[in-house]
């Protein structure tokens, strides 16, 4: 299962695990999550490379929001909304949680 953990007021987002919907290379849930996250990060970085930082590890991806502004906050909100849509369709494969 992919677990998305949102910390604070969207200050840090940790995405870890595998969807296990299908075999490696055929997993549409993993592909969807990867596409949404990668597109969001690339969009934010086109505006300013200092707005966020990220770390990609073997089974975990961490996004740290360094600057909250309209661009960053709207793109992050859009990313989380799209991930929630995936969660609604595949609740056995992705879970989103929030910690304050």
Q: Establish whether 30 is a catalytic residue.
A: yes
Q: Where are the domains of the chain?
A: 2-92
- Average pLDDT over every residue of 94-98: 96
CATH class of segment(s) 2-92: alpha beta
Catalytic residue among 2, 4, 30, 75: 30
Q: Establish whether 68 is a catalytic residue.
A: no
32-60 pLDDT, tens digit each: 999 999 999 999 999 999 999 999 998 89
pTM (global) more than 0.85:
yes
At residue 24, the pLDDT reads: 83
Return d(Cα 92, Cα 88) in angstroms, integer.
Answer: 9
Catalytic residue among 10, 12, 14, 18: 18
At residue 52, the pLDDT reads: 98
83 phi-psi bin (left φ>0, alpha ψ -120 to 50, beta other): alpha
């Amino acid at each position: 299962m992919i677990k998305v953990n949102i910390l604070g007021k969207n200050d840090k987002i940790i995405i870890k695990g595998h969807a296990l919907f299908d075999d490696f290379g055929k997993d549409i849930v993993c592909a969807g999550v990867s596409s949404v996250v990668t597109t969001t990060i690339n969009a934010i970085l086109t505006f300013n490379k200092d707005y966020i930082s990220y770390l990609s590890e073997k089974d975990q991806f961490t996004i740290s929001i360094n600057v909250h502004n309209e661009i960053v906050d709207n793109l992050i909100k859009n990313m989380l909304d799209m991930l929630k849509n995936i969660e609604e369709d595949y609740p056995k494969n992705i879970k989103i949680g929030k910690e304050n």
